[in-house]
Structures are given as structure tokens and as C-alpha cells.
Amino acid sequence: MKMTRRTQDRLGALLFVVPAIVLFLSFKYYPLLMTLYYSFTDWDGFSGDYRFVLFDNFANLFTESKISGAFRNTIYFAVASIIAGTVVQLGLALILVNRLKGNRLFRTLLYTPSVISSLIIGLTWLSFFQYNGIINQTLERIGLSSLVRNWLADAELTMNVLVGINVWQWAGYGMIIYLTGLLGIPTEVNEAAALDGAVGWRRLRSITLPLIMPAVTVNMFISITGALRVFELPFVLTGGGPMNSTNTVTMQIYNTAFLSNQFGYASSIGLTFFLFIAAITLIQLRVTRRLEVEY
């Protein structure tokens, strides 16, 4: 059989894509398909046989309070991180856009924590937040012992400590994205705004923010997908405690699979988690894209 030139050409092009496809199917989409498959079974991960339990796993995960709690904690972590993070990142970017002296140094310094593993970052802060750690010792010293808290073992407070560390780590990263957006605003727009007397909050809301919406879109996407996957910080600082108050979805999947040996059940949580993240990010991209304006 003789191939036409066209088919030959197309096959050649396809060959270029093959390595990426093979790698991708093996380690991304094939596992995702298997997650779907296992999620309908009661497999324990070790015995050779398992039963199909259909939707039992899903019915259980929506009623088991530890798991719905993990989803709640994760959502809280993401929402709080994004709100506090946006304020900090945008605030810093609005300062740095003025090109103050030394702004390069500040940029470098503020960005640095985002290149370190969250695990290392968590350990770095451990000595601050432990009960006899640096923060409580400082409070005692300056006579504010009434503010001494059990930072890492207080069901009301600990998740906020993790949020704080997360915001600290990513402040410079988001700041750079916003800064890029701000520097992209044409000078004429800013001059016109100044002439019209648009200043302060009003100018930020009605001129600056709409114009940097593309930066907001990207930043939100990165922050949401990042924050929802949180694992290292609670893993190393709290182990999910106290009273599961910092137990996140990724930790829950890890524990269900490898501590409780419930591979089927863990897969059903994983699948739910994937659908949840996909839905959230698609909604977010739609919403922030719609707010983008042309100039």
C-alpha cells in the first residue's frame, strides 16, 4: 500500500507528539481513568479480589463527617488565603509600581519564599509557632502574655496560622503578577484618570482593577489550584489536628489510602476532588475573564 504524501506528512507530524502523549497518557489520564474504576470498588489495595460497590463509596464520603470536614477545611484555607493574599499582593504591587529606590531588592527578597518547598517553609515556621516557640516567648517578654496561644493546637486558630504561612510564602509571587499588570497600563490612561480627579480607592476600583483583570485571572487560577491542593503545611505542622481542624482533602486521600488501606474509598474521594477543582477553576476563569476589558 502506498501512502499519499498528505498522509505521510500527517504521520510525521504525529510522531513529534508521540513522546508527550505516551508520557501523558501513562501518568495523567490512565491514572485518572483508574481512579474512576477503583472508586466503584471496595479494594483494600493488597488482596487480589474486590467487589464492585457502585456508589456506596460516594454515599459514604458525603455522610462521613471527617471527609466533609476535610473539604470544608480545604475550602476555608483556599478562600482565606486568596482574600488575604490578594490584599497583600496587590498592596505590595501598588507600592512597588512607583519605582521607589531599592525596589529591585525588595522584589527579589519578597519573591524568595515562593521558590522554597512548602515543607521546608513549614519547618522554618515551626520554631516560631510551637508553644514554647519564638512568638510566645516574645509576647511574654514584652508583657503581652495574655496573647500567648497554643498556635498549632487550637481548633479555632490553627488553620488561620497555616493560612498566614501560606500568604507569607506566596506574597511576592502574586505581587510580581500584579506588578506586571500594573506596569502594562498605558501612561495616557493614568494621566487621564489624574486629570479627571480619580484618586485613591475610586481610581483603584473603577480604573486600575478593570485594567489588570488579565493578571487577576492568572493569579486567581494559580492561587486557587495551589491552595486547594495544600498538603505539606498541615502534614508537617499539625498532622491534620487538633480535632481534624486542619485535615485537608489531599491529606485525607493520603491517609485513607495508605494508613487505612482503603484504596477504593480513597479513589472516590480523589475523583470527587478532581471534579470539584475542575468545576471551581472553570467557573473562576469564566467569571474573571468576563470582567476583563479592552483598552
Partner 1 sequence: MHPSAGTPRTLRVVQYAILCAAAAMILIPVLNIVLSSFKTNEEINRVFTLPSSFNFANYRRVFQSSSVWMNIVNSFLVTGSAIAIAVYATSMAAHTLARRAEAGFQVLYYVFISASMIPIAANLVPLYVLINKLGLVDTRLSIILISAAGAIPMGILLYTGFIKGISRSLEESASLDGCGRIGLFLRIVFPLLRPVTMTYIVISSINVWNDFLMPLLFLRTESKKTITLAVYSYMSEYVNDWGAIYALLTIAFLIPVVFFVLNQKHFFGGVTDGAVKM
Residues 190-229 that bind partner 1 (CB under 8 A): 190-191, 193-194, 214-215, 217-218, 221, 225, 228-229
156 contacts 71 by C-beta, under 8 angstroms? no
Residue 24 contacts partner 1 per CB under 8 A: yes
Binding residue (CB under 8 A) for partner 1 from 187, 259, 286, 294: 187
Residue 82 contacts partner 1 per CB under 8 A: no
Residue 109 contacts partner 1 per CB under 8 A: yes
Residue 1 contacts partner 1 per CB under 8 A: no
Quickly list H helices, the chain: 5-24, 30-38, 56-63, 65-96, 103-111, 118-129, 134-141, 158-183, 187-195, 200-203, 209-211, 213-228, 232-237, 249-258, 263-290
Binding residue (CB under 8 A) for partner 1 from 5, 47, 48, 141: 141
Q: What is the DSSP letter of 52?
A: B
159 three-class SS: helix
Closer residue to partner 1 (CB): 145 or 155: 145
Closest distance of CB 19 from partner 1, Å: 4
Binding residue (CB under 8 A) for partner 1 from 54, 59, 79, 123: 123
Is there a cis peptide before residue 113, judged by omega within 30 degrees of 0? no
Closer residue to partner 1 (CB): 31 or 147: 31
Alpha carbon distances (Å) from 219 to 56, 103, 110, 122, 141: 38, 21, 16, 23, 40
Residue 61 contacts partner 1 per CB under 8 A: no
Closest distance of CB 245 from partner 1, Å: 19
Spatial separation of the C-alpha atoms in residues 137 and 14, rounded to whole Å? 63
Closer residue to partner 1 (CB): 86 or 124: 124
Residues forming beta bridges with residue 52, ordered by sequence position: 41
- For residue 61, the one-letter residue type is L
36 contacts 52 by C-beta, under 8 angstroms? no
Closer residue to partner 1 (CB): 110 or 162: 110
What is the x/- site pattern for partner 1, positions 239-278, by CB under 8 A? ----------xx--xx--xx----x--xx--xx-xx--xx
